[in-house]
Structure 1
């Protein structure tokens, strides 16, 4: 009986030992599989040199270089009309003639008074030399002459204003006054548009504003002429930003005889910030840390190494690497948030 119990005990102990061994092996296998499953996955890019062109576009309204509203300086009836809507006039060309009967009469009267005051002043000087009149009488004659001169100049100007002329060279876009109409001082009689040069005003971000320079070339495109580009240049860059921290930039471009522009249409301004030829670049999102202390993870043989680099210019979404990386090296472009130096990883691309 004792032998039976002993044998049974040995069998039970052996079974327990076998179970324990298998359980430990299964647990080790499970842990190993878990370790494999928790290896970080990353995506990489293979570095190659390339030519980059930095540019951006802004949409703005194309406006004529200058628009002038012409108003009448006197009141009266329109006696003659010399130009119509669409007419091109050079600066100084006549637009209208206002009834000049009264201005001309005032001018003749003022001229006669001025001539008499001049003669009185000359005679007063002679009499003063002979001590016939006093100093106060001499000054009175001088004042009368100057007042008459001012009245004459005013009357001459009013008579001249009876002819309304073009203040600038341009095209008439509006002429609300017709022959026979009565106009008052300040009445709008026409609108002139100088379209020899057009301008586009757009707002650019602070990063772009500091990369642009006055005189830089730009191209402008419109939906009116698909596929046609107009060459222009930056005329001005404001030193003051607006509430949105953008800076007003004005671009000018000449009119085209083949593709004439009109004021008020929309245009897309194409700015060029520069270029980099044969440059080694990385995407901005591959960077670890800041541009001041740039680092990237370099993948090789199933592991990643954290490496210091030196970056130059930033073109669109790419950084130009000037030191620290080589062609054909693989840089982690995504999945680097939880990485550490020399960590084992799994590349998924």
Structure 2
């Protein structure tokens, strides 16, 4: 892997560890703050809402394509680290915790989409494979707080969150030193970006197909990641508050990084659209089958959850690659930011419903997520039926 891409994906791993840092302390927060379980969804959605607001600002204002992506990434990572650290040190309930998680999400808007733009600026011809590594690191970063909590068994819940802040500061330094790549830089004579011009990308059939498939994928992905600890409990694979549960959650979420990398390799021959379709079909199958595993042996439950964890995110980088190819080069940053904003708005609905209903639905909560990958397959059909385009 090219050195610049390696730096970007490692920085993505460190920066996105902020995303689910509070979820790694869910049991402690519920107990100390005396909250019902559904309020973990509220804290998660505060991050999602901040991310949505940040990506909409970047997209509709054109800021994502007016300033160096590396500069926006670095500033955002520092801001996210500070807000995340403040949550660990000063939050004492939802009233103070929710605004700080919102600020973390706002900062992540300058990390995730701009990380994608940085990858494209260094490797435009192999965007699918390179973005697979980037989203793999996003996945591992999302799982990382669970892993830190598992390794630091016995430490205060604040410790894992503060480690995430330290990693985000390191990510800022790495990207600031790297800078932007030589591709997709705006020409000196390029017309200025107009407010809202990015919306015209949806008039392009290829961009529209990719974006709509991504929206279906998003209905499932973040709700699944939020619900993994509950799914492990419902399946009888972990006990509440156990270190084993943190390790199990890290495994189920983190294996998605391997799914992304495998999809990136496959995209070189099969094309990004067909890899995305395969991942959607696999995760839909896992959604469908999970409620039937109640009486299955533990090894079968583990196999299905790990397959689900690997496939649920393996399609994500390919939606970004397909969308980046389908829009004008000078609008890539804004188009990806808008796609992210709309997709993450969808996640708020599935997260809120999932966390509120999982206690009543049990393992059948998986069927709440099933429409996402099914609709994603339908939307992507015009692209995966075409001749493969190498990722």
**After TM superposition, is the score higher than 0.5?**
no
TM-score range, shorter chain: under 0.3
TM-score scaled by length of structure 1: 0.18
TM-score scaled by length of structure 2: 0.16
- More strand per residue: 1
- More helix per residue: 2
